[in-house]
Amino acid sequence: MPEGVADAAVRRGTAVEEQEWIARAFRDPVQRPSVRVWIYRRPALVLGCSARPGADLAKRALAKGMDLCVRPTGGGAVLAGRWLLGASVVLPAQDPFVVASIPGSFRWLGLAHATWLQDLGIAAHAVPAPVAFAGAALHWSCFGGLSHWEVEACGRKIVGLAQSRRRNGVLFSSGTLIEPPPWEMLCETLGRPGDEAAELASRTVSCAERLEEPAEAEALAQSLLDRLTPLTRGARPESSR
């Protein structure tokens, strides 16, 4: 374990297990950073914290073989599965990365993901301000828009970010598309029109598409962990602050 870090690991698990890990991490005041990169072994519909899923949605998700959970961070719905790498970074409330400006606090995480993808050979960039896509606003979906410091490649979203600030600490989370997701599954489960699946596909891109080779989830997860962990233990280049 790197010095100063409580936990840094890649885990193959479910989105439900991820949420349970986050809940445990915040049970007491966070003293040291923890980093987890998640490879999802089954699909899940992960809703933002302000969502109030009803029994009908739970039934539809179950019928499609998906877990359903509500995460502690804001933002739209995420479809977790083998096409997505998740990262959870838990920091003490007073960590230097936790700056007062909410948009500004995403900067380090967006830049870390962009440089990680660049090193893999993907021309990715973190956008300092929201970018409006042409067409309908798809605020219900995390990947329908590009918010502060989220990451794009060839003008299409590849990494989504979110955050939860609590008295006991701060959670930064990310989701990186490593393969094209089945957007129709997301739209059908949420009762969205079918053309929105095509719209989501046109606004997003995955590592496999940009690298023109199948995504090796384990290798990608380990390289993301190796990128994030040194930052959380204080190895912070000036450009990431």
Partner 1 sequence: MIDIALANEAWEGVDAGTEALVDAWLGREGERVVAGQPLVKVVLVKTSYEVSAPANGIVERVLVPAEQTFARGRSLGTLREG
Residue 31 as a binder of partner 1 (CB under 8 A): the answer is no
- Using the minimum distance from each CB to partner 1, give the nearer residue, 103 or 155: 103
- Using the minimum distance from each CB to partner 1, give the nearer residue, 4 or 103: 103
Residue 219 as a binder of partner 1 (CB under 8 A): the answer is no
Radius of gyration of the chain measured on its C-alpha atoms = 17
Structure tokens at 37: 């990169």
By CB under 8 A, what part of segment 158-217 binds partner 1?
161-167
- Using the minimum distance from each CB to partner 1, give the nearer residue, 150 or 209: 150
Among 19, 73, 189, 204, binds partner 1 (CB under 8 A): 73
3-state secondary structure of 130: coil
- Using the minimum distance from each CB to partner 1, give the nearer residue, 14 or 173: 173
Exposed/middle/buried for residue 229 (C-beta within 10 Å: 0-12, 13-18, 19+): buried
Cβ neighbours around 227 below 10 Å, total: 18
- Contacts (Cβ under 8 Å, ≥6 apart) of 122: 153, 158, 207, 210, 211
First to last CA, the chain: 24
Residue 62 as a binder of partner 1 (CB under 8 A): the answer is no
Stretch that binds partner 1, among 2-10, 13-21, 95-103, 184-192 (CB under 8 A): 95-103
- Residues 175-189 as b/e (b if ≥16 CB within 10 A, e otherwise) read bbbbbebbbebbbeb
By CB under 8 A, what part of segment 146-165 binds partner 1?
147-148, 161-165
- Using the minimum distance from each CB to partner 1, give the nearer residue, 73 or 232: 73
Interacting residues with partner 1 (CB under 8 A): 48-50, 72-75, 100-105, 129-130, 142, 147-148, 161-167
